[in-house]
Copies of this chain bind each other. A is one copy, B any other.
């Protein structure tokens, strides 16, 4: 298979690259907005493009349950269904399934559970997960993994990792469509020997990209940063590296500095719905519900050129949140996604210029000041 990821240049361990799919390419490092059920909450795809999004993520479990992957396949695939022409990545569905209360059995075969919609019996295996993702018609499918709580004992995590590695191989073997990229996922929590083993074992398989799983799942931030300090570099240099479910802008620059190329997180949209707006300048974010913004007729971020900042003021957004108008959450989600995606564009430019460290230091300093306030 041709090489889909191209490494263009580097700046220290930070990498500037491009990933090619049949639905176009995306530049790396990059961040994927999360369209859980096939829409980024409240944001149409034209505005999403306006935020600077090049690729979006959808959740396999949710779309499998409703409207079903078979339906999406029958109507022509997820791109047509959700009106998104660019690349789409899906998760494996595992993460959502493990968070269900009603899991019946987890074995090498796969996982048996009951649907949260209608209680019906469902079964997810590595083969089934790839089948569903190919029915959705995504560009990038994730191998099914097990994602145990990071607090579990070494031997438990090791045992779980062995299953994830067996599943990785089966996921690759399940591919039917040569256009589907499949990424493998490392696990191993905060145990360096397990992470190292995962990296080595998965590197031997013919994945189109490598993902780091099992982080940002409730463990202390120090543990994540410790894993980031060595683990991305253990992954093959010529493959794209995706840090799943991460994170704050501080986490993004920390990831990039350690060689991560791709991120996703619900944080910009979820925080936006609750009134948090990420901003440039001294503080990482403001809370628009703060009464200090009642009569503030400046944009959320003077330095931001997003739709929300071009058109609306803090005073108006504060009002929308006060009275519960849904336009408020929508506008702040647009702003926050733009903030994230603009940072990624700036990171790419600075890697090209060999000045990534200036962005890194700036973002780190602002979160540090904020914690010490």
Instruction: Find residues 299-349 in chain A having any chain B CB closer than 8 Å to their own CB.
Output: 307, 311-313, 315-316, 318-320, 322-323, 325-327, 330-331
Q: Contacts of A323 on B, CB cut-off 8 Å?
A: 37, 62, 66
For the complex, what is the distance from the CA of A43 to the CA of B311, rounded to whole Å? 13
15 contacts between A and B (CB under 8 A): A38-B319, A38-B320, A39-B327, A41-B326, A41-B327, A42-B326, A42-B327, A43-B327, A71-B315, A74-B295, A75-B315, A80-B297, A81-B315, A81-B319, A83-B311
For the complex, what is the distance from the CA of A44 to the CA of B309, rounded to whole Å? 13
For the complex, what is the distance from the CA of A39 to the CA of B324, rounded to whole Å? 11
Instruction: Find residues 73-119 in chain A having any chain B CB closer than 8 Å to their own CB.
Output: 74-76, 80-83
Q: Contacts of A153 on B, CB cut-off 8 Å?
A: none
Q: A45 on the interface (CB 8 Å rule)?
A: yes
A294 to chain B, nearest CB (A): 7
Q: A46 on the interface (CB 8 Å rule)?
A: yes
Task: State how many copies of this chain the complex holds.
Answer: 2
With CB as the reference atom, state the residue of chain B lying closest to A83: B311
Number of A residues whose C-beta is below 8 Å from B? 39
Q: A67 on the interface (CB 8 Å rule)?
A: yes
Q: Contacts of A43 on B, CB cut-off 8 Å?
A: 327
Interface of A with B (CB < 8 Å)? 37-39, 41-46, 62, 66-67, 71, 74-76, 80-83, 294-295, 297, 307, 311-313, 315-316, 318-320, 322-323, 325-327, 330-331
For the complex, what is the distance from the CA of A38 to the CA of B83, rounded to whole Å? 30
For the complex, what is the distance from the CA of A76 to the CA of B298, rounded to whole Å? 12
Given A38-B319, A330-B330: A311 in contact with B71 (beta carbons within 8 A): no
Q: Contacts of A62 on B, CB cut-off 8 Å?
A: 323
In contact, B327 and A66 (Cβ under 8 angstroms): no
For the complex, what is the distance from the CA of A307 to the CA of B323, rounded to whole Å? 27
Q: Contacts of A45 on B, CB cut-off 8 Å?
A: 311
Q: Contacts of A316 on B, CB cut-off 8 Å?
A: 38, 81-83
For the complex, what is the distance from the CA of A320 to the CA of B36, rounded to whole Å? 11
In contact, A67 and B322 (Cβ under 8 angstroms): yes
Question: Which of A44, A71, A81, A318 has the largest number of chain B CB atoms within 10 A?
Answer: A44
Given A71-B294, A295-B71, A330-B330: A319 in contact with B41 (beta carbons within 8 A): no
With CB as the reference atom, state the residue of chain B lying closest to A308: B44
